A and B are shown apart, each in its own frame.
Chain A
Amino acid sequence: MWDEGLARIEVSALRVRFGAVEAVRGIDVTAYGGRGTALLGRNGAGKSTTMRVLAGVIPPTEGKVIVDGIDVRLDPLAAKRATGYCPDVGGLVPRATPWEHLQLAARLRRLSGWELRAQDLLERFDLGGASHRVTGGFSHGMGRRFSVVLAAFHEPGVLLLDEPFDGVDPLGVEATQHVIAEAKARGAAVLVSTHLRDLAIEACEDALVLRGGTAVAALDAATLGGEAGARAYRALLD
């Protein structure tokens, strides 16, 4: 159990460039333990790139990125141990089974006695019957659900979920919301990137709206609810 309320993600002046393209242009993000933060914005706003930096998949071009007290640039392996990441696209090795994914994750994360937790998560996401089937044959929704399982599997201090609700059925959405609630209850910081505003509000207490690679607003997620919230959010996107 972690201390609730501590800043588990501290990003300042983050810039990420891919050649001539600057995907992230000086974003600041702070996310606290025990709280969910929604990353909102249009396509190309920089949400997924920010997530990838936090997960240690992409190095920051400039800026400081601290995850659970660890500088991702200085100690990327420790940062990866502290995070659980559900990527926005795919996220699964197509010819490996869910159990093989879990075995690899458990080995590299030095988990022991993980099998019961894995089975429990698979059952909760209605994937128990598919745990030994290659993921290449999974539907999009099944793949998304299993990506969430992989991210939450080791009970990380920082849970990064990029588009976890995309194409997922109501039961899968419910299971994902439950995993997010559990993570927050443990004191983990949860970052959720999604285009589904209502689900973001349900999952998160804070919201950060990105536009063109920069943060344009940091607000209480609840303020984005209802008709007035929808209009305010719409205004922030343009």
Chain B
Amino acid sequence: MRTGPSWTEITEGFADLRALLAFRQQGLAPAQRKRLRIAGLVLAGLTLVVIVAPAYVRTALPARSTGHLVGVLPSFYLGFAVLAVLGAVTSGGGRELVPREQAVAFPVSAVTEHFGALLLAPLNIAWLLQAWAILGTTGWVLGPTNLAGSVLPIIVWIVIATALGQLVGWIVEGVRRGVHGILVTRMLAVGAVAGLATLVLTGRFAPLLDRSPTVRLYLAALDARVGAWGAWALAVLELLVLAGFLVAAGMLPARWALARPQREELRLEGEHHEAVPNPRSDLIAMIRIDRASIWRSVPLRRGVLVLALMPGAVALAGNLHWSLVTILPGLVASGGALLFGVNAWCLDGRGALWRESLPAAPGIAYAAKVVVLLEVLLAAGGGTILLASFRAGVPTGAELASVLAATVVVALQVTAAALRWSVRSPYAVDLRSARATPAPPVVMAGYSARLAVGTTTTGLLFSATALAPNGAIAVLVAIPFVCWSTYRLLRTGRDWADPVVRSRVVAVVAS
């Protein structure tokens, strides 16, 4: 018998959350726990630096730059909320603290799921970078005077945006699980994109941003700087009440959504696929199975589509110049690898043991994983560039060469890193649920940070080559990257050829 929401449910939800966190922690080796503690301290330290440092370097910058930032700051705040909403919507209501197949024996309530998803939201490099960006920019604009007071409303806003994202995420997930849910959510997505495109093309996008309610956030931060503590306290109180309300409100759609059947997942599991002609080579046979594993998985299919469209849509809305488009393939490639590439053999799931018992050279199975990951990254990156190209104008030779080189280089770079991690640290996951990830949340956060740093640096390098007089520079810069990534791929391939390594990977992913 279902009961209505109650205070007990909330307190039990917190207690269950603690138990699940302890369960997760027990699964870590002592060295991993130590690394986790260090990573936590580093993140806290970095956050502090990101808040404080810009406030003090501000004086060295021209006032005009600061003025520009004041104008766009409310849009940055709004952008963070949009990102939080998109993150929760695309991950089917947020990430799972414990994968469904492991949690099946425990009565994990929807409230616990909701709190868990909220807790895991920051373990995402896009969330972290955006949060750091708005905190740092606020400090930069307002300076060191009463900095803690200036930043506090923004910190509460980060909580609000995350809770709002979770609330919307659960609602969309609940709708998606309805009878015609897929159709409705697709229509909503198309409507949102069409609406955004209309606003951009009719020139009403920027004026709309100027009227964003987040202007009040900036004013609250400014109140602290000028010492208007009464207004500041009132604004912070309002924000805190809103945060509490949104966190609590998220429990209702969470209960509703999680009680509904997972129609899309069930439909895919019951789907028939007519036979295609027999494969012409061993590699094609392997690739076919891996492709099927990607396109018939709800989180992977959705993730690839979002990756192909979302950064391109942002580029389209932001009217990005070609020299900045070079950064996008890196973001897309990192996101693509985080869908399944960092644990590539999880595509085989429990079939890994059978597949390993087939008479095929280890290099063929390895090459198949490399090919499918590369093609996903290149296709998603290509889609992004295509969308970005609509408003970026006609590229020069150097710009075109730089964008193409950046796409190829980051795809190889990310594939090499992802395959290395796949062989070193496999995990047993089924990637069935829309909320599933290929590795535990903390591990995913580490992977995403490393990928983001590597690919953004590479993207910035090609931003510089885009300003060169011709495209040859970009090609020359790309060559050592391609060689290094190829070497890394071959080295991992050699590791995979070792039967001891291979048996460990297949035994783990099939368990």
Contact = CB atoms under 8 A, between A and B. Distances in A.
Contacts of A97: 272-273
Interface of A: 52, 55-59, 76-78, 80-81, 83, 85, 87, 89-97, 99-101, 103-109, 132-137, 147, 150
Contact of B278 (A81, A87, A92, A107): A107
Nearest to B430: A94
Contacts of A107: 278-279, 281-282, 285
B297 interface: yes
Given A87-B510, A134-B268, A55 B275 contact: no
12 contacts: A56-B356, A77-B361, A92-B351, A93-B351, A94-B432, A95-B268, A105-B358, A107-B281, A107-B282, A107-B285, A108-B285, A137-B270
A109 B358 contact: yes
A92 B351 CA distance: 4
Contacts of A81: 359
Interface residues of B, number: 44
Nearest to B355: A93
A108 B272 contact: no
Given A93-B349, A134-B271, A87 B359 contact: no
Nearest to A109: B359
Contacts of B432: 94, 136
Contacts, number: 137
- Ordered nearest first, which 9 A-B pairs have the shortest CB separation? A90-B350, A93-B351, A137-B269, A80-B359, A95-B296, A87-B353, A59-B499, A85-B357, A107-B285
B348 A93 contact: yes
A137 to B, nearest CB: 3
A100 B272 CA distance: 11
B166 to A, nearest CB: 28
Contacts of A101: 351, 354
Nearest to B350: A90
A108 B275 contact: no
A99 B355 CA distance: 14
Interface of B: 266, 268-275, 278-279, 281-282, 285-286, 288-289, 292-293, 296-297, 347-351, 353-361, 430, 432, 499-500, 503, 506-507, 510-511
A96 B286 CA distance: 11
A190 to B, nearest CB: 16
A119 to B, nearest CB: 11
Given A107-B282, A137-B269, 6 more contacts: A81-B359, A89-B353, A93-B355, A95-B293, A104-B288, A108-B359
Contact of B296 (A90, A109, A134): A134
B292 A96 contact: yes
B351 A91 contact: yes
B29 to A, nearest CB: 12
Contact of B354 (A58, A103, A132, A147): A147
Given A59-B499, A91-B353, A103-B285, A96 B293 contact: yes
Given A85-B357, A93-B351, A57 B275 contact: no
B269 A134 contact: yes
A96 B282 CA distance: 16
Contact of B510 (A77, A78, A89, A150): A89
A108 B274 CA distance: 21
Contacts of B282: 107-108
Contacts of A80: 357-359
